[in-house]
Structure 1
Amino acid sequence: MMASEKRGCHVMLSYCWSDNQELIKKIKTALNKRGFQTWMDLDQMSGNINKAMAEGVEGAYAVLMCVGQKYMKSRNCEKEAGYADSKQKPIITVIVERGLVLEGWAGVINGSRLYYDFSDQSNFDSKLNELVKALEPIKRATEYKPSDVDIKPRSQSRRKSEKERLAQLAAAQLGEFDLQG
């Protein structure tokens, strides 16, 4: 598997520190309790901010774009979400501010997709259930499967020459060769 094809191992929470960080931490904790590994800059970001954001995006199988007004005005949030979009990561929009209208680059990235409005915390559990339903098939699609690994011996995995292939075909037709693979 090439580096550009590597599977994600976490859900990345992309957010602005000034936008309802406590709510975003609550979503992160609830997802962890439901068996989702998460990535949030509070835990994993150190050193070069651009490198850390890139690693968070590249290691993700899904990105939660947690949007408030300050998120939509943040250059770093725009870079992070834009990078996730360019890497074709599934992006799920989570609204963290009451009455928010997605505009500008955040509106473009979300497009016509559904979003999950967590701004009214009185229905947190039902919104979380909806979010988990959206994340589960993405997670399943990226989980390791033994069939993903080619374990053929080296001699079987090399491409046969045309001469070898014709010889095997002729022998099989004569009943002198048993094709097993």
Structure 2
Amino acid sequence: MTLDAEKHVMLSYNWNNQALVSKIHDILIDEGIKVWMDINGGMGDNINISMAEGVENATVVCCFMTPDYQKSHNCQLELEYANKKEIRIIPCMLGDKSDRKWKPSSWLGLITGGLQYINLRDDSDSNIQLRARELIDRIKNQSSASTTKLVLAPIKLFEPIRDKTKARELLKGEP
């Protein structure tokens, strides 16, 4: 996947994790990835309009999940809107030792439940560098499951078999 030059990667996070997400922001910028983050010029006069524009102009939304993220009304608005707009979401799991067993539930579990998350629970510099590389690879290379629609021809599984000979062959296991 090539990144659209007009689009950006949006970083959705709770402000309690601003320092760590800022490190990720800087690493992505150093890689030449266009990034939207509220504290780095993403926020205008109206918070709702700014968040909506952040989502609408995103090719990917990276959500940095914690219990506080799940409790945040604004984080919920951003991620639900991204999901509704079928923008690819890459979840990143944050948290300290007390949060190790925490898993997303409710609205956040519904949106991210089937997605593979990037584990940033260890916030050491070496792990941040390693996981940032994983994030960059996913941003650049992972095809978008939410924008790639699999279209199948209709299968008439329950249509009655009209040919009795064919029905007998199927029951006997013959071709």
Query: 1:41 maps to what in 2?
Result: 38
Larger helix proportion of the pair:
1
Identify the range of structure 1 (7-16 vs 40-49) with the bigger mean alpha-carbon deviation: 7-16
Local SS of the residue matching 1:47: coil
State the 1:119 CA deviation.
1.8
Mean Cα deviation higher: 83-92 or 67-76? 67-76
Q: Which amino acid aligns with 2:141?
A: P
Aligned to 1:113: 115
Please show how residues 71-90 of structure 1 align to structure 2 within 5 Å.
71-90=69-88
Uncovered stretches (5+) of structure 1, i.e. residues with no partner: 1-5, 140-181
Judging changes above 3 Å, is the alpha-carbon distance between structure 1 residues 81 and 7 closer, same or farther for their aligned structure 2 residues? farther
Task: Output one character per residue of 1:37-79: Cα deviation in whole Å (capped at 9) or x when no partner.
Answer: 1000112102111110000001100000111111100111111
- Identity of aligned pairs, percent? 38
What is the CA–CA distance in structure 1 between the aligned matches of 2:83 and 2:135, rounded to whole Å? 19
After TM superposition, the structure 1 = structure 2 runs for residues 131-146 of structure 1, keeping only pairs within 5 Å, are: 131-137=135-141
What is the TM-score of this pair, normalised by structure 1? 0.69
Three-state SS of the structure 1 residue aligned to 2:68 is helix
Amino acid at match of 2:110: V
RMSD (Å) for aligned C-alpha atoms: 2.0
- Name segments (4+ residues, structure 1) moved above 4 Å: none
Cα distance in 2 between the residues matched to 1:7 and 1:112: 28
2:134 maps to 130
Q: TM-score, normalised by structure 2?
A: 0.71
Q: Which has the larger radius of gyration?
A: 1
Partner Cα separation in structure 2 for residue 57 and residue 33 of structure 1? 22
Q: 1:23 aligns with which of 10, 20, 25?
A: 20
Q: How far is 1:7 from its partner? A: 8.1
Given the superposition, is the C-alpha separation of residues 17 and 67 from structure 1 closer, same or farther in structure 2, using an over 3 Å criterion?
same
The residue type equivalent to 2:56 in the other structure is E
Give the Å deviation of 1:111.
1.9
Quick one: which amino acid aligns to residue 106 of structure 1?
A: L
Deviation at 1:81, TM superposition (A): 0.4
- Distance in structure 1 (CA, Å) of the matches to 2:74 and 2:117: 21
Residue number among 96, 101, 113 corresponding to 2:103 in the alignment:
101
The aligned amino acid for 1:130 is E
3-state DSSP class of the match of 1:121?
A: coil
